[in-house]
Chains A and B, each alone.
Chain A
């Protein structure tokens, strides 16, 4: 049993501890600095009543609104939201392909692809609500403005994912087609597209899921979908209608996630 003392444990590495401590100090001080700005003004005097009314709204859905099949009803708004998400995603998938090609190192070379990557990052950073407002200024309020906003904003993510998938494809296939005498078009259709198409479709579907959520927010600024009726219901304190919309939103988004997820699983 005395043998145990013979075991000399290796010394714990200490190189990282300074960096770690610094990291924690910075994080905590940032947090404290930020906490200062959050002014908790307390719940409003009417909060208890509001909350009670909200809970009542939660258990008494607005059936009339749910069953209203006209333009002012919920089903129309839901379909509109889905169509905005579908069209917006499609527009961005089309636009993202040329931009992704420009951003891919193995297509245009290292230097040029940097420029493409910068463009993609900038598009991704630009808030979609502001894009929506700009497009409302151009095409007027309504679904097309939402489609354009999603279409442009989603290039940021799709372009990045597309170019990553182009960069990681097997160059051998392309060389094989070339060595058999294939021209540029044949290289594109026989070597590049078959390799990346499954991933492209999968990413596009993934973006479609994200866009469903975004499309329901865009209505707040007037870009179509059920964002607008939702905000109006909240402002008018119509809690039954509010929660009917919120529940329908959750169900729709979840169903689309499941559907799109199952397609994506089959693809890759």
Chain B
């Protein structure tokens, strides 16, 4: 028993310099941004009484008799979202396969596909919609086209990430039994990603309902154009009813869709 006296452990404090520099940098960026954008808390607090007035105009006495007129464009909005998400999902599937490195074992094709998908995902659907309105004329076709492009961009991205995360063992098992690419796809990949695929499509549908509701602002169909008209003519009671009905619909759709998604994954 000759326990040595343990040497005193000296803990060196890690350098705090990096931390302080980071914090200072973040504060400078935040402060600079607020200054540049003329964001001042005082202005907002001073003007806040206007918020009450506007909200009262909108929701104090909504024009309930206007509600029946809102239903058809609302259904149109939902239909636009359904068509664009489903078509988007169909196109997304092959693209996701091309983008996933474990199915298409060609780095160049993977990267090119991802690059194109990224570009499509980056352009806001509002911008796409206004470009399509210039080509197809105003109407819901332009909106559907814009949402379709956004949908396949989003679904393919989510999907190829899931394909890359599948259990490769099942694929190897099929390959070792002599399966070709198609058999691998059918029995190795599809069963593993199908629930996620449906879930992503539903998620995109939720996003599309919300997007379709505002696309009318640039003339691309749906309830947005009613909203824009009512706002432009300062019929705030109508704006109120449109906002309420849209909001409740989106809430219900989100609820149903997320319930189905929970059951899936």
Residues of A within 8 A of B (CB): 27, 30-31, 33-41, 43-44, 47, 50-51, 54, 79-80, 82-84, 86-87, 90, 121-122, 125-127, 129-130, 133-134, 137-139, 142-144, 146-148, 213-214, 216-217, 220-221, 224, 227, 230-231, 234, 237, 242, 246, 249-250, 253-254
Asked if B94 is at the interface of the complex by the 8 Å CB criterion, the answer is: no
Q: Is there an interface contact between B130 and A234, defined as CB atoms closer than 8 Å?
A: yes
Asked if B29 is at the interface of the complex by the 8 Å CB criterion, the answer is: yes
Which residue of chain A is the closest to B210 with respect to CB atoms? A127
Within 8 Å by CB of B122, from A36, A54, A213, A231, lies A213
* CB under 8 Å from chain A, chain B span 130-179: 130-131, 134-137, 139-141, 144
Q: Is there an interface contact between B33 and A82, defined as CB atoms closer than 8 Å?
A: yes
Q: Is there an interface contact between B38 and A220, defined as CB atoms closer than 8 Å?
A: no
Q: Is there an interface contact between A147 and B39, defined as CB atoms closer than 8 Å?
A: yes
Within 8 Å by CB of B136, from A43, A122, A213, A221, lies A43
Q: Is there an interface contact between B30 and A125, defined as CB atoms closer than 8 Å?
A: no
Q: Is there an interface contact between B126 and A220, defined as CB atoms closer than 8 Å?
A: yes
Min C-beta distance of A120 to chain B, whole Å:
12
Min C-beta distance of A255 to chain B, whole Å:
11
Which residue of chain A is the closest to B55 with respect to CB atoms? A134
Across the A-B interface, the 3 shortest Cβ-Cβ residue pairs = A34-B79, A143-B37, A83-B33
CA distance A70 to B140 in the complex (A): 37
Residues of B within 8 A of A (CB): 29-30, 32-34, 36-40, 43-44, 47-48, 50-51, 54-55, 58, 75-76, 78-80, 82-83, 86, 118-119, 122-124, 126-127, 130-131, 134-137, 139-141, 144, 210, 213-214, 217-218, 227, 231, 243, 246-247, 250-251, 254
Given A31-B86, A250-B123, A254-B118, also A38-B39 (CB < 8 A): no
Q: What A residues does B123 contact at CB under 8 A?
A: 246, 249-250
Q: Is there an interface contact between B119 and A217, defined as CB atoms closer than 8 Å?
A: no
Give 23 pairs: A residue, B residue, CB < 8 Å, sorted on A: A35-B83, A37-B140, A38-B144, A40-B141, A47-B136, A54-B134, A54-B135, A83-B33, A84-B37, A87-B39, A121-B251, A125-B250, A127-B246, A127-B250, A134-B54, A139-B47, A214-B124, A234-B131, A237-B134, A249-B122, A249-B123, A249-B127, A253-B122
Q: What A residues does B130 contact at CB under 8 A?
A: 220, 231, 234
Q: What A residues does B86 contact at CB under 8 A?
A: 27, 31
Q: Is there an interface contact between B33 and A138, defined as CB atoms closer than 8 Å?
A: no
Q: What A residues does B37 contact at CB under 8 A?
A: 80, 83-84, 87, 143-144, 146-147, 224
Given A84-B37, A86-B30, A137-B54, also A34-B135 (CB < 8 A): no
Min C-beta distance of A251 to chain B, whole Å:
9
Which residue of chain A is the closest to B260 with respect to CB atoms? A23
Q: Is there an interface contact between B36 and A80, defined as CB atoms closer than 8 Å?
A: yes
Within 8 Å by CB of A129, from B33, B47, B217, lies B217
CA distance A257 to B163 in the complex (A): 22
Min C-beta distance of A237 to chain B, whole Å:
7
Given A80-B37, A83-B36, A129-B217, also A41-B124 (CB < 8 A): no
Which residue of chain A is the closest to B242 with respect to CB atoms? A130
CA distance A31 to B134 in the complex (A): 26
Within 8 Å by CB of A144, from B43, B76, B124, B231, lies B43
Q: What A residues does B54 contact at CB under 8 A?
A: 134, 137-138
Q: What B residues does A249 contact at CB under 8 A?
A: 122-124, 127
Within 8 Å by CB of A50, from B34, B135, B251, lies B135
Q: Is there an interface contact between A125 and B251, defined as CB atoms closer than 8 Å?
A: yes
Which residue of chain B is the closest to A143 with respect to CB atoms? B37
Min C-beta distance of B79 to chain A, whole Å:
4
Given A34-B79, A44-B135, A90-B30, also A133-B47 (CB < 8 A): no
